[in-house]
Amino acid sequence: MKIPNPLTPELQQRTTGTGRILALVGGVIMIAAPFLPWAYGRSALDNMTVLGYPSPMQFLFLVLGLLVVGFLVGSHLYLKRRRKRRVGWVRGAKSAATGGLIYIVLIIISIAVELEGLVNVEYGGWVALIGAGLAFVGTKLMLADRAPNLGGLVAKPWIEIICVAAVMALALFGAAFALNMDDGGSFVSFLGFIGAIIAVLFTSGVMGFLSSCTQRHRKVLILSAFVVAFAFPLTQGGSDANMSIATQVIIFAATAMGLNIVVGLAGLLDLGYIAFLGAGAFTAAILSKSAFATIDWHPPFIVVVLISGCVSATLGLIIGSPTLRVSGDYLAIVTLAFGEIFRISMINLDGTDGPDLTHGSNGIPGVPDLNLFGFDFGDTHVLFGIPLGRFSNYYFLLLLVIGLIILVFVRLNNSRIGRGWVAIREDEKAAEAMGVNVFGLKLFAFAGGAFLAGVAGSVKAHVDVSVTPDQYVFLESAFLLAAIVLGGMGTVLGVLIGATILKLMPEKLRFVSEYRLLIFGLLLVLMMRFRPEGLVPNQRRQLEFHDDDEDLVDRIEEEVEETGLVKGGGAS
């Protein structure tokens, strides 16, 4: 229920006018402040000591100032011409101003921490803070316009294709820029900037237009995504450190995509999923040509991948058959126990407590690099004059693996099996009453997700060189589940984004290693409070969590009418 505004129309207009002036002044100050020095020493962030020459981090603040002024000017022009507002001008200005304030606060805190004191913040930093504060207060005094609706806007096909390609190019630039950051404060501030830009896109309605473009040009989106992904190693200048992080991100994302079948589609809470990844990794290590391998049989890698997936799927069937008859909290407890049983079993297979398959807690080290069709993944290769090391080689292989996993996920989601999983997730009793084979589909989800995890684990064994039981603890399962919840259950893009954030943040926040889990917990709390449906949810789950949001309901209904999209669509 909406609370009526107690202000009279005259007072509303006067307050809005005052707010507009304050916001414009603040936006202009935000544009000018980056040309002033912000820090006393060069060692803070990316050298913000030069007068008249903004650093990259200062330039990002200038972009937020331009957005504030641009949205306010656009709002004034549209109000003057009395045209139909499809863009949320005031909403966009509010998000840009709020994001600018958060961004400059993060910058000032980083300077104070790295240079040991607020006294090292130069006058330009305080001017920027004042400008962001004025913009924030001014936009808060303005009345928010109607919820934007650009989802039904149709442009010329070539313009929409350029927009899709431009978004993917910006994603490539942003990923390369973030991964090359060695300073923790710069990385955190950059995340704040990205969050502000995403908020602006959503509140202004631009994200609705981009979403409709991707729906109409899905093939262009997929092609652009893979071109960007394959071009990423070329932006790293042969850095093995950065490509090592990128490789681990893809392994984590591929595993999370398999878990997304179990949790996101079928609604089965699995807290021991990391065991299936470990089963695939141990299988690949045992069958490898390592000097410590315990089985004297070394089939080709393609065969090893299939065997690893089948071993993990068999474990899923063995565990799922007796346990999937329970649900909810009971299923979570059983799967949690399974994860711990797997880890302890791998430790006991040391030749003393059981057969010598894994060498116990020592695991299987010395797993050799792959050699497929004469291509040695351990050698450095040169492409366009850029050296590509072993991690870049495995990165390309993993792209093919995760592409296969995404294809399987999307096909299953859009099939009769996927609809059965969604029915079970929404109401198991109703699905059973309608003739859905509940137990069979749940068991298939468990085994199918396990198979995909085993495939990812077979590559992980060669990337990590060694496989030990301590790599597969409960905390890893919790992170996988958090990636799905954070990104958006049942979606492809959401899980990829969630997995990237949760795997990349710990690597870049090593300077606060003692507080990384605290930051992670606070992030999840904030997400559950303000966006429980995830970063990239489907429309059904978004309406489930915000069924009292009339603006959201109206906007989605208009998008359905204008674009013909099915409400509550599947993977996005």
431-479 per-position pLDDT tens digit: 888 888 888 888 888 888 889 999 999 999 888 888 888 888 888 888 8
Provide the H-helix boundaries in 488-533: 493-508, 516-530
Q: Which long-range contacts (CB under 8 A, 24 or more apart) does 159-162 make?
A: 160/213, 160/216, 160/217, 161/217, 161/220
Q: Is the pLDDT of residue 9 over 70?
A: no
R_g (Cα) of the chain, nearest Å: 26
Kindly state the average pLDDT of the residues 201-229.
77
Enter the CATH code of domain 240-537: 1.10.3470
Mean pLDDT of 321-328: 75
Q: Find the range with the poorest average confidence among 111-115, 258-262, 285-289.
A: 111-115
Q: Pairing state of beta strands 381-383 and 386-388?
A: antiparallel
Q: Which of 331, 287, 341, 277 is nearest to 472 (CA)?
A: 277
Domain residue spans in the chain? 10-229, 240-537
Q: Any idea which residue has 């202004």 for tokens?
A: 204
Is residue 419 pLDDT above 80, yes or no? yes
- Torsion angle in degrees (nearest 10) through CA of 72, 150, 200, 141: 40
Share of the chain above pLDDT 90, in %: 5
Residue 14: band (very low, low, confident or very high) from pLDDT cuts 50, 70, 90: low
564 — pLDDT class (breaks 50, 70, 90): very low
- Mean pLDDT is lowest, of 77-91, 195-209, 501-515, 538-552, for 538-552
pLDDT exceeds 70 at position 48: yes
As a whole number of angstroms, the distance between CA 562 and CA 154 comes to: 10
Q: Which of 32-46, 63-77, 443-457 has the highest mean pLDDT?
A: 443-457
